[in-house]
């Protein structure tokens, strides 16, 4: 059973499609945070960013790169917040990778991406070094 986004790609559910190519697809969010709020997805279903194969990831970024200026110009935005909710704990509701392109306007009252955190951690230098090493060992 496809996710709702898979059904949109297949034309089973209507959407305001703004771009489509062989592997990627972009359409307006049904509950926009701002006029022009657009979602960019791979056509095939992958739940998380790291499930996306490298070639499709490159295509996805190319479409994001193409859609951002189109959205900004279309709604005369000053900027965009571009983000993925990557996993349920991060707020991902639809388990099909999607990039939110949210137009931003001077004085729109919204916050930066830093506003997503709940309580921020108080980490000393040793802890930061250890975390950096743990990440570096895996990249
Ligand atoms: P997320 O919380 O990152 O999974 O975001 C899912 C997004 O999909 C939300 O912003 C919804 O408004 C949007 N959405 C859900 N159903 C549809 C739909 N049928 N067409 C367009 N956008 C949708």
User: What is the reported pLDDT for 116?
Assistant: 87
Give the tokens for residue 122: 């108080």
The answer to whether the CB of 25 falls within 8 A of the CB of 99 is no
Give the tokens for residue 93: 């509701």
Q: Decide whether any atom of ligand 1 lies within 6 Å of the 17 Cβ.
A: no
Instruction: Reply yes or no on whether the pLDDT at 70 is more than 90.
Output: yes
Q: Decide whether any atom of ligand 1 lies within 6 Å of the 4 Cβ.
A: yes
| Residues 6+ away with beta carbon under 8 Å from 77 | 34, 36, 71, 103, 104, 105
CA 4 to centroid of ligand 1, rounded, Å? 9
CA 76 to centroid of ligand 1, rounded, Å? 23
| Three-state secondary-structure class, residue 118 | coil
Please state the φ and ψ torsions of residue 51, each to the nearest 5 degrees. -80, -15
Q: Which tens digit of pLDDT belongs to each residue from 17-35?
A: 999 999 999 999 999 999 9
The answer to whether the CB of 68 falls within 8 A of the CB of 53 is no
Pocket test for ligand 1, best of 2, 5, 13, 91 (most atoms within 8 A of CB): 5
CA 32 to centroid of ligand 1, rounded, Å? 9
User: What is the reported pLDDT for 117?
Assistant: 84
Q: In whole angstroms, how far apart are CA 103 and each of 77, 83, 139? A: 6, 12, 32
Q: Which tens digit of pLDDT belongs to each residue from 72-122?
A: 999 999 999 999 999 999 999 999 999 999 999 999 999 999 988 888 999
DSSP 125: H
Residue 98 annotated as catalytic: yes
| Three-state secondary-structure class, residue 8 | helix
| pTM more than 0.75 | yes
The answer to whether the CB of 47 falls within 8 A of the CB of 71 is no
Q: How confident is the model at residue 47 (pLDDT cuts 50, 70, 90)?
A: very high
């Amino acid at each position: 059973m496809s996710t709702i986004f898979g059904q949109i790609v297949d034309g089973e559910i209507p959407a305001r499609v703004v771009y489509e190519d062989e592997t990627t697809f972009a359409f307006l969010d049904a509950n926009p945070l701002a006029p022009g709020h657009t979602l960019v997805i791979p056509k095939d279903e992958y739940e998380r960013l790291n499930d996306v194969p490298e070639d499709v990831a490159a295509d996805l970024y190319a479409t994001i790169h193409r859609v951002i200026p189109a959205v900004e110009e279309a709604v005369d935005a000053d900027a965009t917040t571009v983000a993925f909710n990557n996993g349920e704990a991060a707020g991902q509701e639809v388990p099909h990778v999607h990039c939110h392109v949210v137009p931003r306007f001077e004085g729109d009252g919204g916050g930066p991406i830093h506003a997503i955190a709940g309580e921020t951690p108080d980490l000393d230098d040793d802890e930061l070094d250890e975390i950096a090493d743990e990440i570096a060992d895996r990249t």
